[in-house]
Amino acid sequence: MNNILFLVILSLFINSIFAYNIPFVRLIWYQKKHINFIIWKGYNKQNENYFNFSKNLIKIGKKNNIIFNISISDNYNLEKISSNTILFGHSAGGYKCLEYNNSKLLAKIVYGATHNSYNKIKFANKIEKDRIPTLTMIGEKDGFLPSYHLIDEMIYNYKFNKTNQTVIRVNNTNHLCICDNKVGILSKLLNITDNNLDFDINLMLNTISNTIINYINLQNSK
């Protein structure tokens, strides 16, 4: 009760200070939001490859009043979905994420994968878009999946009124920064190389984490 009284008095005090220029000042309380965040990994990636990304997301989340409970999955299956669950998929895990349709999910977020709506990606099938709010991201410097594929998704979303679909090219990030820039065996065999491998990985993770958090805040405001 004393805390509430203090806040009321403080609010009146602030209002009185700014009364001349600002007729109304409102104190805002930001309630912390808890998010269960499940990561579906890329092909042949280890759990520890996603530890730095997880730590980065947790750190930036706290600054934005979002508490992330992060799980890194070893398989592409969810037996039970808790409330406030976001499914995140990277690379191959991203395609599995987009295929997974469960209305209990708060949202789906993928990095380095798309629905391949116009069948232009040779190694992936077209994935139909469901009604779950979905954020599709590709890094500007992605050496595996060029970011111009997002243009197809934007056109498709506009043409078929897929208002639950959000598409973002993440500036100056590559494909592998999510997993500590660990190059897989398949990439070596196919001689596929990523870009920005000498760029500060923490800067790239910061950009991705902030993009995710901005998306979550946007969904909360709807």
**Residue 168 pLDDT exceeds 60:** yes
Which of 145-149, 189-193, 212-216 has the lowest average pLDDT? Answer: 189-193
Question: What pLDDT shows up at residue 109?
Answer: 98
* Average pLDDT of the segment spanning 117-123: 94
- Give CA–CA dist 117/127, Å, rounded: 7
Residue 149's Cβ-side half-sphere holds a number of Cα atoms within 13 Å equal to 25
**Residue 156 pLDDT exceeds 70:** yes
* Average pLDDT of the segment spanning 104-128: 96
What's the CA dihedral at 56, 129, 133, 38 to 10 degrees?
Answer: -40
Class of domain 33-221 as given by CATH: alpha beta
| pTM for the whole structure | 0.84
For the ranges 13-17, 76-80, 178-182, the maximum mean pLDDT occurs at 178-182
**Residue 211 pLDDT exceeds 80:** yes
With contact defined as beta carbons under 8 Å apart, do 80 and 48 qualify? no
- Chain centroid, CA 19 distance in Å: 41
**Residue 222 pLDDT exceeds 80:** no
- Give CA–CA dist 189/192, Å, rounded: 8
Which of 93-97, 163-167, 190-194, 212-216 has the lowest average pLDDT? Answer: 190-194
Question: What pLDDT shows up at residue 13?
Answer: 39
Question: What pLDDT shows up at residue 52?
Answer: 98
pLDDT digits (tens, 9 = 90+) for 10-28: 443 333 333 333 333 333 3
| CB neighbourhood size of 182 (10 A) | 15
% of the chain with per-residue pLDDT over 70: 84
Question: What pLDDT shows up at residue 2?
Answer: 52
Question: What pLDDT shows up at residue 31?
Answer: 65
Candidates 103, 104, 112, 106; CA nearest to 40 is 112
Confidence of residue 184 (pLDDT cuts 50, 70, 90): confident
| C-alpha distances out from residue 193 to 18, 67, 185, 214, Å | 57, 35, 12, 30
Query: Which phi and psi angles does 220 have, rounded to 5°?
Result: -65, -30
Q: Where are the domains of the chain?
A: 1-30, 33-221
Beta strands 134-139 and 165-170 are parallel
Beta strands 33-40 and 85-90 are parallel
More confident residue, 29 or 196: 196
